[in-house]
Copies of this chain bind each other. A is one copy, B any other.
Amino acid sequence: MGKNAIVGQSGGPTSVINSSLAGVYESCKSRGAEIVYGMRHGVAGLMEKNVVDMSALLKDDLDIELLKRTPSSFLGSCRYKLPDWQKDPATYEKLFGILEELDIGWFFYIGGNDSMDTIGKLADYGAHVGRDIRFMGVPKTIDNDLMVTDHTPGYGSAAKYIGVVMKEVIRDATVYGTKYVTIVEIMGRNAGWLTAAAALAKGPDCEGVDMICLPEVPFNVDRFVEKVAAMQEKKASIVIAVSEGVKLEDGRYVCELADDVHAVDAFGHKALTGTARYLANTIARRLNTKTRCIELSTLQRCAGHMTSRTDITEAYQVGGAAAKAAFEGHTGEMVAIKRISNSPYQSTTELHPISEVANLEKKVPLSWLNENHTQMTQEFIDYAKPLIQAELSPLYIAGLPHHIYVED
């Protein structure tokens, strides 16, 4: 009898993370895994042996197809940070005990850089105790901030959503022909990839956003107000895309200037929110002009109704490539996407040691911004445009996209 595989999802949901899950599942099955287990709520759930036989959840090809088109993490997620195994071996003994009990040969974790940290630690510990389980990381994050991979699955769909929404917001903002400043807050703590995607709105049928503020560029509130005032001289409706993570020169987040409470999560990350609201209120007060703030919030990461077919396809591919690599004996690695060419767009997958990815962040290169750091260059557009190409419509039933989900 063959061994079993296990797969988990971790970190913030995306609209294509389930496509990667489908890729892992189908590839493991076709390669002869006896059972493919799913961790409920990632490694945190696994610690409590909260696992399911995925074939019980996915009964036929329609279920697989629905899975690919269902946003958010089908198996549930967690933000659990594994301790160092040198400091807390008991946690690892418990986890590996559970994996042994389940007769696991292949272990997959779909997530961002925190999740790759988990894969790295498990592979290290496994090698240390001489266990023959293969640990593979499958990249996922709308933030696009993972090293070594050209881009991350999840980014293309979020970028497409942002491009679409910015076009609609720009159309909406111009109707009155009166002075109006709209500030749209976009996710991205330290890397501005998502905010940069607002640049995609520009085209023959859209005047585009008037300013883009990335967290890579130190933010100065006075200069920001001056720039808006200057733009208002020429144009009634100003639409600005601002990252939730823009920081002052002294390192404080702009949103900390507002007076809301800011919680901290398990990884010590401050909750960032209120940047656009703070800036809209500041502009309204100082320039005596009508303003509005829009937070794309959760909507930008769970918009299963607006995915990029390129993204969904690649998400499926990286899942399959991870299974292939694990079955061929690889461990402690992450599948990356390698861009072969831009026109026509072609990509393939490759493997990288997890140490090149875990806990690192890839920022937007400043050379992809114009001199004033207010707009993206053509180089960025050439990079991002292929990732938002083509659509994959949800399966609509009675007017709404149909999803597949596991009851808790």
User: Contact residues of A with B, CB < 8 Å?
Assistant: 9, 13, 40-41, 45, 70-73, 76-79, 160, 163-165, 167-169, 171-177, 182, 200-201, 203, 205-206, 236, 260-261, 263, 277, 281, 284-285, 290, 292, 294-299, 301-306, 308, 385, 388-391, 393, 396-405, 408
Set of chain B residues within 8 Å of A305, measured between Cβ atoms: 164, 168, 306
Pair B41/A172 contact, Cβ less than 8 Å: no
Pair A163/B399 contact, Cβ less than 8 Å: yes
Set of chain B residues within 8 Å of A302, measured between Cβ atoms: 168-169, 171-172
Most-contacted residue by chain B among A171, A261, A298, A303 (CB, 10 A): A171
Set of chain B residues within 8 Å of A201, measured between Cβ atoms: 400
- A309 — nearest CB in chain B belongs to which residue? B399
Sample (20) of A-B pairs whose CB atoms are under 8 Å apart? A71-B171, A72-B171, A164-B305, A164-B401, A167-B401, A168-B303, A169-B299, A172-B298, A174-B408, A261-B281, A263-B290, A292-B297, A294-B298, A299-B299, A305-B306, A385-B399, A388-B399, A388-B400, A391-B396, A391-B399
Set of chain B residues within 8 Å of A401, measured between Cβ atoms: 164, 167
Set of chain B residues within 8 Å of A163, measured between Cβ atoms: 399-400
Pair A160/B400 contact, Cβ less than 8 Å: yes
Rounded to whole angstroms, the CA-CA distance of A216 and B140 in the bound complex is 43
- A274 — nearest CB in chain B belongs to which residue? B277
Rounded to whole angstroms, the CA-CA distance of A210 and B290 in the bound complex is 35
Rounded to whole angstroms, the CA-CA distance of A175 and B208 in the bound complex is 35
Using A260-B281, A292-B298 as known contacts, list a sample of 13 further A-B pairs with CB atoms less than 8 Å apart, ordered by residue number in A: A41-B175, A41-B176, A72-B174, A73-B175, A76-B175, A76-B177, A160-B400, A171-B405, A200-B400, A205-B402, A385-B399, A389-B399, A391-B399
Pair A400/B167 contact, Cβ less than 8 Å: yes
Assess A72 versus B175: contact at CB under 8 Å? Given A281-B261, A385-B398: yes
A38 to chain B, nearest CB (A): 13
Rounded to whole angstroms, the CA-CA distance of A12 and B396 in the bound complex is 28
Residue in B168, B396, B404 whose CB lies within 8 Å of A71: B168
Pair A175/B13 contact, Cβ less than 8 Å: yes
Pair A399/B290 contact, Cβ less than 8 Å: no
Set of chain B residues within 8 Å of A205, measured between Cβ atoms: 402-405
A389 to chain B, nearest CB (A): 5
> What are the 7 A-B residue pairs with the smallest beta carbon separation, nearest first?
A72-B171, A388-B399, A172-B302, A77-B175, A168-B302, A73-B175, A389-B399
Pair A167/B298 contact, Cβ less than 8 Å: no
- A407 — nearest CB in chain B belongs to which residue? B207
